[in-house]
Amino acid sequence: MIFEQHYLECLSQASYFIGDETTGRAVVVDPRRDIDPYIESAAEHSMTIELVLETHFHADFLSGHLELAAATGAEIGYGAVAETEFESRKLADGERISLGEVTIEILHTPGHTPESISIVVYEHPDDTEPYGVLTGDTLFIGDVGRPDLLSSKGVTGEELAGHLYNSIQTKLLTLPDVTRVYPGHGAGSSCGKSLSTDTWSTIGDQRSSNYALKPMSKDAFVQAVTDGQSAPPAYFAYDATRNREQHDILDSTSRPDALDLVTVLRRQRSGAVVLDTRDPNEFSVGHLIGSINVGLAGRYAEFVGGVIQPGAPMVLVTEPGMEVEARNRLARIGFDNVVGYLEDPLQTFEQNPEEIEQSSRLDVDELERVLASGDDVQLVDVRQPGELGEGVIDGAIEIPLTRLNERLASLDAAKPTIIYCAGGFRSSIAASRLAVAGFSDVSDLLGGYSAWTSAREQPVA
């Protein structure tokens, strides 16, 4: 058996390539949209990808099932209750699929979503112990999938949590303790609240260490897994819908169009978002007026999905040579409307200073002076709810960055506004988004809450 985990750090997302060396037949599970890694694996091992399996309709990324099917002729398979616009194979609970010696078994494990499945992998058809189980977003290392993402779709988070309890207890925990667990996500994903940095474990280890697998009643489980979830990025509902639909195939090798400044400004006046993907410090020194800053160094696509509406036309500003990477990472969440990128941005900035502005960034001392002045300042904390236990600056309004767009109307654009996060990365995103929304006096805190607390820990001379 060839078994490969392909882990995408920027989305904390795992996909899998499983092949049978005796027949050359292979399956890919939960592929990302830029599919070259799977095509390369198939070529390396002289295998043919015959089936693409999706554990559920993903909310945090646009999957590559259509791309792989177009490139290889593979079937696309989902759990039996999944309904898709494109042709797909409906897989029954307990159904076994033979690749030759390697055999996979489908387990219906609803809870994270109604159609969720897990995939048990056997190296040989008569093995009594599985090699492993691919749990999608049903079971993570250290956690289980959040059940609240579909709460606005006619089913409550509590109802789904009850299904999740049944799936864990009657399906996954009946597997032998030595069974390896391969989840769909790791730490950093918004699909759970306490995911481990480990990318695999075993059923036995999870039985003893995972809080959600401890002996408890269904009611206690529902309470435990629904409390304390982070605010998911606003694009999640969009992606969950798009993953059911027929949509355009991504060409991950093509280059966006290079645009001169005149064209970029014309596009911007027509409604395009200028998305500057440089580091916040570089952005603050000078950027096109009206740009939104989301640096490639962070959880770029996820953050874009919190401050830019799905389908919005976008013009990229990147470091030279990063245009394709910036476009492809947006495509991974289905944000496909990149109309081009600004050619030679630094030279353009130098030659057109009238089109350039700087960001206002305050250090801790400056923020303290502003707050002590008694001015009517709007202070906004854009960290996730789980981070707020570390403390909050007095008077701050709490709005997670991932929900900023939908909460803009709750803020007063006429007030001087100061944004902070944990370290100063997300605050630059939020401040630039508010500036585009018409906030005339907006700044962010250099170093974020970490700098604020560090300044208070220093001894007085």
Q: Does position 308 have pLDDT exceeding 90, yes or no?
A: yes
Cα(2)–Cα(17) distance, integer angstroms:
8
Bridge partners of residue 136, in order along the sequence:
183
Q: How confident is the model at residue 424 (pLDDT cuts 50, 70, 90)?
A: very high
Range of lowest pLDDT (58-62, 254-258, 348-352, 452-456): 452-456
Q: What are phi and psi of 98, to 5 degrees?
A: -95, 130
pLDDT reported for residue 366: 96
346-387 residue pLDDT tens: 999 999 999 999 999 999 999 999 999 988 999 999 998 889
pLDDT reported for residue 151: 52
Q: How confident is the model at residue 392 (pLDDT cuts 50, 70, 90)?
A: very high
Q: What percentage of residues in the chain have a pLDDT greater than 70?
A: 98
pLDDT reported for residue 233: 81
CB distance 419 to 430 below 8 Å: yes
Higher pLDDT, 185 or 456: 185
Q: Does position 228 have pLDDT exceeding 90, yes or no?
A: no
Residue 351 CB contacts under 8 Å (≥ 6 apart), including other chains: none
Q: Identify the CATH class of 258-357.
A: alpha beta
Which structure tokens are listed for 346? 């630094």
Report, as an integer, the average pLDDT of 331-350. 97
Q: Where do you find CATH 3.60.15.10 in the chain? A: 2-242
13-42 residue pLDDT tens: 999 999 999 999 999 999 999 999 999 999
72-115 residue pLDDT tens: 999 999 999 999 999 999 999 999 999 999 999 999 999 999 99
Higher pLDDT, 329 or 189: 329
How wide is the angle at C-alpha 82 spanned by C-alphas 81 and 83, nearest 5°?
Answer: 115
Residue 240 CB contacts under 8 Å (≥ 6 apart), including other chains: 57, 58, 59, 113, 149, 150
Mean pLDDT score of the chain: 95
Q: Does position 460 have pLDDT exceeding 60, yes or no?
A: no
First to last CA, the chain: 65
- Count other Cβ atoms within 10 Å, centred on residue 408: 16
pLDDT reported for residue 457: 77
- Count other Cβ atoms within 10 Å, centred on residue 96: 12
Q: Where do you find CATH 3.40.250.10 in the chain? A: 258-357, 360-457
Report, as an integer, the average pLDDT of 163-168. 97
Q: Given its phi and psi angles, is residue 252 left (phi above 0), alpha (psi -120 to 50 degrees) or beta?
A: alpha
Higher pLDDT, 343 or 156: 343
Residue 190 CB contacts under 8 Å (≥ 6 apart), including other chains: 60, 230, 232, 233, 236, 302, 402
Cα(53)–Cα(17) distance, integer angstroms:
10
pLDDT reported for residue 459: 56
In CATH, which superfamily holds the domain spanning 2-242?
A: Ribonuclease Z/Hydroxyacylglutathione hydrolase-like (3.60.15.10)
Q: Identify the CATH class of 360-457.
A: alpha beta
pLDDT reported for residue 458: 61
